[in-house]
Structure 1
């Protein structure tokens, strides 16, 4: 059984109830997977307008690289060959027709120019990367290239490996997993990307998930200061430890000096020791104070201090 552990708290592997749950999560993280300079088109917006009978789960256009991707999102428990190979083979046959490929270009163009949010994003990306051609020509340049297939799935299987050998285009498989914090609704997502990210270990402490000998690093709160403060608060509020005892425990667990933990709980957030200890006596005040200081960590704060 795979688990993730952060500050002694377990995160258990979440089982998707159906494919639509996985699809919704993937769509929320499209930019993390394909990069900020990409445009995503959902199946529902392309299917009725392009005239192509067999449409994948979505399309992604990478403007800087002039590449386009066909997106397939699947659960490993489904019959993958029937779902993927047959559909993409029909799509391949459709876009071999130049008229059909032109319809696809026109559909992308209409979607961008008629959707204010998509148009704004396109203009922002164009300015950033220095696009010096009109939109329709850019789309034509991209779509005249062969697409690549990206299959996002909850688990890689032998059947999937066989499927990939029978696909009409170059393919990449991305495993997308979700871990749920024990006794709460906090979720953590672990997945491969087509983008290279770097992690500054001096600014945040990663959550380590060991899987098949590989260590995947992700951050829960994005701030080591908040992580240490919440650990101290949990020890005081839920285990009855004194502030000094809690500081010692956190320092020992993290193999750092006690002064480092104290600094996180005081100077880093504009308080002295007495003021922080007063906050520890009032859970609601402490919660509100931390949310103002760390708005990005609101969910973690609520879960830890409830």
Structure 2
């Protein structure tokens, strides 16, 4: 069992007593789990045709406004890992997938009713609309439902069985994990968010105070010499890497940051395809048309610039950059 040390205090894992308790914590921390520009709707609505087996009641709904031009609607399922993966969680995802395909008009009507009946929720969404191409909530909902609705599963532990069961879906749901730890009355959480690619952009917004459209088509992955040679050079691939549905849709290139003593980016390639990697819940990225660029070197006097995990940028920045920091600005 893992423990956490914070300021010389040991925090121990504390299981959630019920799904209701877990869901409450998810709602309280929704902006951390799903992104600061997201709106979580805590409402239960049944969707699906009356005589059909394929009916479903998601635990909640999420509108992700990170992209002002292309907001995204999610069905959210909050689960504990103690629930049976195949008879419960996987079955729910199957039902949701069928509902999304067959009941778009019903989804549109019911979610509009939810939004318009809640003044606080309505006002929150109207604030976001000011920076979008949509003039009202009806236009927004038409866009969200006509676009492919995505599914997110929030769970306290992503087991290999869960990953295997979700890998069979063409549009594999995003998995968000949330664990709770305590030291006496102090609570801490460890979580993996919906979209890791947002963290760079949220840090940038915080430091500059500017809100920009989220744009990326390239992921930069840190590599030791042996890993770079084995995966990138010899196998034309990179693995394992955690990528959201949105990232898998947007990415076109993968670049390698070679760690010390090289400390530079000199290699990138086009992404050929992305596939699940074993039962890890992560992905393997297959590459083609590998190319080199003049070494983009690590800044000598800037902290927090070298990627310690995958970071996101654009190919245009990569082709122009002289220093690593220029990839993130």
SS of 2:11's equivalent in the other structure is: strand
Question: In the aligned structure 2, how far is the partner of 1:60 from the partner of 1:172?
Answer: 13
Question: In the aligned structure 1, how far is the partner of 2:32 from the partner of 2:19?
Answer: 20
Question: In the aligned structure 1, how far is the partner of 2:42 from the partner of 2:104?
Answer: 17
Q: 1:90 to 1:82 in 2, by over 3 A?
A: same
Match of 2:185 in 1: 185
Deviation at 1:121, TM superposition (A): 0.4
Unaligned runs of 5+ in 1: 201-306
Where is the strand percentage greater, Structure 1 or Structure 2? 2
Map Cα deviations across residues 155-210 of structure 1 (whole Å, 9 max, x no partner).
121111111123363321121011101xx22101121222314399xxxxxxxxxx
Asked whether the 8 Å contact 1:69–1:148 carries over to 2, the reply is: yes
Deviation at 1:48, TM superposition (A): 8.1
**Equivalent residues, number:** 195
Larger relative CO (CA 8 A, sep 6+): 1 or 2? 1
Match of 1:28 in 2: 28
Q: 1:50 to 1:176 in 2, by over 3 A?
A: farther
Q: 1:150 to 1:94 in 2, by over 3 A?
A: closer
Deviation at 1:108, TM superposition (A): 1.4
Q: Return structure 1 stretches of 4+ with deviation > 4 angstroms.
A: 48-52
Unaligned runs of 5+ in 2: 207-329
Residues 1:170 and 2:184 aligned together:
no
Alpha-carbon RMSD: 2.6
After superposition, residues 134-283 of structure 1 pair within 5 angstroms as: 134-167=136-169, 169-181=171-183, 184-193=184-193, 194=195, 195-196=198-199, 197-198=202-203
Match of 1:223 in 2: none
Match of 1:6 in 2: 6
After superposition, residues 71-90 of structure 1 pair within 5 angstroms as: 71-90=76-95
Map Cα deviations across residues 133-161 of structure 1 (whole Å, 9 max, x no partner).
32212111111122222111111211111
Question: In the aligned structure 2, how far is the partner of 1:150 from the partner of 1:101?
Answer: 18
Q: 1:23 to 1:14 in 2, by over 3 A?
A: same
- From 90, 96, 116, the counterpart of 2:119: 116
Question: In the aligned structure 1, how far is the partner of 2:24 from the partner of 2:140?
Answer: 29
Asked whether the 8 Å contact 2:76–2:153 carries over to 1, the reply is: yes
Question: In the aligned structure 2, how far is the partner of 1:156 from the partner of 1:69?
Answer: 19
Q: 1:154 to 1:18 in 2, by over 3 A?
A: same
Map Cα deviations across residues 3-57 of structure 1 (whole Å, 9 max, x no partner).
111222111111111222211111111122222332222342x238997831222
SS of 1:71's equivalent in the other structure is: strand
Asked whether the 8 Å contact 1:88–1:168 carries over to 2, the reply is: no
Where is the helix percentage greater, Structure 1 or Structure 2? 1
Match of 1:15 in 2: 15
Asked whether the 8 Å contact 1:71–1:149 carries over to 2, the reply is: yes
Question: In the aligned structure 2, how far is the partner of 1:59 from the partner of 1:50?
Answer: 19
